[in-house]
């Protein structure tokens, strides 16, 4: 079914709410419902969510998302491939079932403020810009972005601690581990870089000194302190937009 225009209702009565949601389910349309609801989940675990104002989204692929007023992640959800049906247990009840593994999500509305049904099709694919891969390519094209005299020797060099983004040597012949991050980073990135440096020091023994350089747009104050504490270095570099 193709809708000529979105079907919406503000403060609909129970019958209109059910009609719109049923329309969306029957014809694999995109449905949003905002109102006061309770949520029960039963499956690999069990959970109960008391009444609250929430946004419920039903996607054509069977996904169900229950959003609160906080955070970017849904508080309850069902993955693609689930089936939805209406229940008779409240003003508006929506049950989502998953076969494997068996899971059930039940959303029961005490009041409905808004319902919308859309025929939504997105044929575009996400194109990422400013990735760590882009940062790596920029440094390989212009090693001086790290420091003058830096000479890249390998990318994704394996160590006992994992793969190093860029491995190279400085103008004094010291081994250099370059770890790339496209966003502001905290202590975890420093710990990761230190593990790479330690692994290469063990691998190379006394053959070369090993320096660790973090390349990222910025670091937190705690991360900056850890860089100094572990004798690691930081080079600011913004990903290209």
* Nearest C-alpha neighbor of 67 from the set 104, 37, 28: 37
- The per-residue pLDDT for 122 is 72
Between CA 147 and CA 156, with CA 151 as vertex, the angle to 5 degrees is 105
For residue 112, is the peptide bond before it cis, meaning its omega torsion is within 30 degrees of 0? Answer: no
**7-118 CATH pick, 3.40.50.10440, 3.30.930.10, 2.70.180.20, 3.40.190.10:** 2.70.180.20
Burial class (CB in 10 A: 0-12, 13-18, 19+), 129: exposed
- Every domain of the chain and the residues it spans: 7-118, 132-236
Give the DSSP H/E element, type plus range, for residue 192: helix 187-204
- The per-residue pLDDT for 21 is 96
DSSP structure string for 41-61: EESSSEEEEEEEEEEEEE-TT
Q: How far is CA 160 from CA 164, 202, 226, in A?
A: 10, 9, 22
Longest Cα–Cα distance of the chain, Å, equals 78
Q: Residues 6 or more apart from 163 whose CB is under 8 A from it? A: 156, 157
Q: Residues 6 or more apart from 58 whose CB is under 8 A from it? A: 21, 24, 25, 30, 31, 32, 33, 64, 84, 94
* Nearest C-alpha neighbor of 96 from the set 79, 84, 110, 87: 84
Rounded to two decimals, the pTM is: 0.57
Class of domain 132-236: alpha beta
- The per-residue pLDDT for 7 is 93
- The per-residue pLDDT for 121 is 77
- The per-residue pLDDT for 204 is 83
- The per-residue pLDDT for 124 is 66
- The per-residue pLDDT for 123 is 65
pLDDT digits (tens, 9 = 90+) for 145-196: 999 999 999 999 998 899 999 999 999 999 999 999 988 888 989 999 999 9
- The per-residue pLDDT for 131 is 77
Per the listing, tokens 């793969």 go with 163
Structure tokens at 220: 């937190």
* pLDDT one digit per residue (tens) for the chain, 241 residues: 667 778 999 999 999 999 999 999 999 999 999 999 999 999 878 899 999 999 999 999 999 999 999 888 899 999 888 999 999 888 999 999 999 889 999 999 999 999 999 998 776 655 545 678 889 999 999 999 999 999 999 999 998 899 999 999 999 999 999 999 988 888 989 999 999 999 999 888 766 789 999 999 999 998 999 999 999 999 998 877 6
7-118 and 132-236 have identical folds: no
- The per-residue pLDDT for 45 is 83
């Amino acid at each position: 079914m193709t809708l000529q225009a979105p079907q919406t209702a503000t403060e609909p009565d129970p019958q209109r709410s059910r009609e719109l949601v049923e329309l969306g389910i029957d014809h694999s349309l995109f449905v949003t419902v905002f109102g006061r609801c309770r949520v029960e989940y039963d499956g690999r675990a069990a959970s109960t969510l008391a009444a609250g104002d929430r946004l419920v989204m039903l996607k054509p692929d069977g996904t169900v998302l229950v959003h609160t007023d906080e955070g970017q992640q849904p508080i309850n959800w069902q993955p693609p491939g689930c089936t939805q049906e209406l229940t008779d247990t409240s003003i508006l009840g929506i049950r989502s079932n998953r076969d494997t593994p068996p899971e059930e999500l039940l959303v029961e509305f005490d009041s409905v403020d808004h319902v919308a049904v859309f025929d939504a099709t997105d044929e575009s694919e996400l194109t990422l810009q400013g990735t760590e891969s882009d940062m790596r390519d920029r440094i390989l094209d212009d090693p001086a972005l790290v420091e003058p005299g830096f000479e890249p020797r390998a990318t994704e060099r394996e160590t006992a601690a994992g793969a190093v983004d860029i491995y190279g040597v400085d103008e004094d012949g010291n081994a250099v581990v370059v770890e790339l991050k496209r966003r502001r980073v905290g202590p975890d990135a420093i710990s990761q870089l230190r593990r790479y440096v330690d692994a290469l020091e063990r691998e190379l023994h006394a053959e070369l000194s090993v320096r660790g350089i973090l390349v990222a747009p910025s670091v937190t104050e705690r991360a900056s302190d850890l860089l100094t504490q572990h004798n690691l270095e930081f080079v600011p570099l913004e990903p290209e937009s």
